[in-house]
Structures are given as structure tokens and as C-alpha cells.
Structure 1
Amino acid sequence: MTGFDSRVRRIGADQWGAETPCAEWTVHDLVNHLVNEQLWAPELLAGCTVEQVGDRFDGDQLGEDPLHAWVLAAAAAREAWIAPKALLKPVHLSSGRSTAVEYGWQMTLDLTVHAWDLARAIGADERLDPDVAQAVLDYVEPQIDAWSGTGLFEAAVPVPDDADVQTRLIGLLGRTP
């Protein structure tokens, strides 16, 4: 989360409307997406179902102060994740019942790739933590074929065989490094 957080804090007032590598998303849309995900975490980790949460997090969650909205949502999610036995609980996702560990990996994947997207959009340092990039790549590689055609990611972008971990990850997730 720190990679995404540090980039959100670098967004200039004139950059919220900038395009991102995510089709049809501006910086505002991208950050709103991640704020939305952070708001869901405490609810799902508390045992709520998608139906119980309903549409309360639909729409713009950034309001007049997008950075403040991010900070509050991220703090609430962090508290939910570090609660005793949080990783032992089942969670109810839109795809069905899952483990909190799997849900955590999904959120880590999204935060990591969108940290790169945000950096690219605002002209910030695009380097991801190499250990995080490797862990996320190890998580993604065995599943990427199953995700093909789901709309989660664009088709993989070919990268050189000797590409570094970050380049392989970004390419695998349909971004042009």
C-alpha cells in the first residue's frame, strides 16, 4: 500500500483529470477505484456479504478532498487487516466465498499495478519495490490464463526474455512498460 500511497500524495491539483494507462480512467477515477476497494475491506473482513454492503460505496468517494478520502479509507482498511485473526476469516467476494489471504493478494495486486499506473499518469517514479513486484508476479503467473478474457486486465504485452521482474509483471498485466 505504501507504493500507491506515496504516489497519491504526489498528485498535483491539475493532475486529477490526467489520463492513466487504464482504459477510460483518469487519475481521479483510478484513485476513486482504490478508495472504493479500501472502503470495502473493513466490511468484508467483518463478515459482511456483497449484498449486505450493497451500493453504499458506489459513485464518487473522493469528494472535495481526494487525498483526505484516500488517507481515511486506507487507514480503515489497514486497521481491518491488522485486527487479530483477520487473515483467518472467510470473506464473501463478488466471485463467491474466499479466504482473507486470497482477498489480501487480490488487493495487493491491485494496489501494486495501480501504483505503477498512477506513477505513469502523473510523471512520478514508476519503480515498484522489487520484493513486492516479485511476490505479486509469483501470485499472478499461475492464474493469468484463467483470467484471460475476464476483463480484469488487457492482454499481456510481450517483454524481452531477460526483462526485470517489474517489467515482466507490468507486461503480464497488459501494460506497456
Structure 2
Amino acid sequence: MNDTDSTLLSYFDTAADGFCDRLRSVPDTCWENATPCTEWNVRQLANHMIQGSRIYTSLLRGGSSAEFMANLDHEALNGDLVTTYRGAVAECRAAFRAVGALDRIVDYPFGPVPGRQLLGLYVVDAVTHTWDLARAVRLDERLNAPTVHWILNNFQWIYHGVSESPITDSNRYYGSPTESPMSDTSEQDRLLHTMGRKL
């Protein structure tokens, strides 16, 4: 992985903003819609993304893996969801941009990783769940192509040493990869199949 820190941070912004764009377009009647993540409806998926941003912020500021797991399913939905999400992302963005944050080893629960790698994990999660949200509410499913390309090119680095991941045999947090229907599948479809999504 040879990207500059500025480039990495731009992927964070693109991924977080992509989810926000879909979130603010969710009709009031769709919050209970099922998502491709079978354990979550749309409202619960929004909660996951809000709480995930808060947990990553905590890790970057010295939080522990035990705190991460304890807060993973905490209810974070208070007030307007778009405003709450934006606030959580702003805090997370600031934490990643803090001096030394990308080099700091954080206590990620599935293996200690530097902040730079944690950012990659965030980007994959946000991009994948952007598609989940779009599919659940019938919004634009097109993901940011340069970000998808970057994820695919750095997939092994992003998940290096991480025990729960799409490149391990664990299916606790990630669905098993699904088969691509044809050899000329787009990069977006390749990523979604890798992340266990059925298109």
C-alpha cells in the first residue's frame, strides 16, 4: 500500500459521504425495510454505521477492544439520524486526522492494527453498507468507482492479520463470498461478491 495519508483520508471522506447521501434519501416509510445484512433493517443498519464511527473514534483515542465489543450493538439512534450520523463521522474524521493517528497501533478486537489499516477497514465497511442501504430502499446502487478500485487493489493489506475478515474462514461477521455470474463482472460486483452479497 503506497498511498499518501492525504489520499487515504480522501477515501474515508468519499466512503462516509456516500453512505450519508443514501441515508438522507431514505423515505420515512422505509426504516423497517429489510437489508442484505439479514440481521438488520434499515434503521438498525444506520445505527451500526453511527455506532461504528463512534467506536473507531474511541479506538484511535486509546479505547480498548473490550469497549469496542461492549458498545458494538449499543442503541445510538437519538434525534435526526442524518444529523447524528454526520456528527459521529465528523468526530471519527477528526480522530483519523489527528497527529500520529495513522501510525498508532490500536486495540482492534480482531487483531492490533495501525490507524492507517483501521481506516481501510472503515472504508470497506462504509462502502459495502452504502450498497446495502441503497438496495434496501431502492436508491442508486452505484458505488464510487475509484474507491472500489482502491479497496480491491489493497484487500490483502486491509485485512492482513485480522482474524475476522472476508479472507479468513470465519463467517461470524462476514458472509461467505458469493459466486460471480460471469468472468467480466465489474469491479463493484467483484467487491460485493467478495463481501458475501447476492446481486
TM-score normalized by the length of structure 2: 0.81
CA contact (8 A) 2:128 2:192 kept: yes
- 2:123 and 2:67 map into 1 onto residues whose CA distance is 24
Partner amino acid, structure 1, of 2:21: S
Moved over 4 A (4+): 141-145
RMSD: 2.0
Of 53, 67, 84, the residue aligned with 1:69 is 84
Q: Which residue of 1 aligns with 2:168?
A: 147
Change (3 A) 1:72 1:118: same
Name stretches of at least 5 consecutive residues in structure 2 with no aligned partner.
1-15, 160-164
Alignment partner of 1:172 is 2:172 = no
Percent identical among aligned pairs is: 27
Q: Which residue of 2 aligns with 1:11?
A: 26
Q: Deviations over 1:61-86 (max 9, x none)?
A: 01242222211111111111112222
CA contact (8 A) 2:166 2:177 kept: no
Partner amino acid, structure 1, of 2:122: M
Name stretches of at least 5 consecutive residues in structure 1 with no aligned partner.
none
How many Å apart are 1:47 and its aligned residue?
A: 1.7
Change (3 A) 1:85 1:124: same
Of 45, 50, 56, the residue aligned with 2:60 is 45
Partner amino acid, structure 1, of 2:191: L
Partner amino acid, structure 1, of 2:84: A
Aligned residues: 177
How many Å apart are 1:151 and its aligned residue?
A: 2.1
How many Å apart are 1:152 and its aligned residue?
A: 2.6
Of 176, 179, 196, the residue aligned with 1:158 is 179
CA contact (8 A) 2:166 2:175 kept: no
- 2:156 and 2:68 map into 1 onto residues whose CA distance is 31
Change (3 A) 1:145 1:67: closer
Change (3 A) 1:111 1:145: closer
- 1:141 and 1:92 map into 2 onto residues whose CA distance is 20
- The 10-residue stretch of structure 1 (52-61 or 77-86) with the greater mean CA deviation from structure 2: 52-61
- 2:188 and 2:89 map into 1 onto residues whose CA distance is 24
How many Å apart are 1:139 and its aligned residue?
A: 3.0
How many Å apart are 1:54 and its aligned residue?
A: 7.1
SS at match of 1:93: coil
- The 10-residue stretch of structure 1 (11-20 or 54-63) with the greater mean CA deviation from structure 2: 54-63
1:14-33 matched pairs, under 5 angstroms? 14-33=29-48
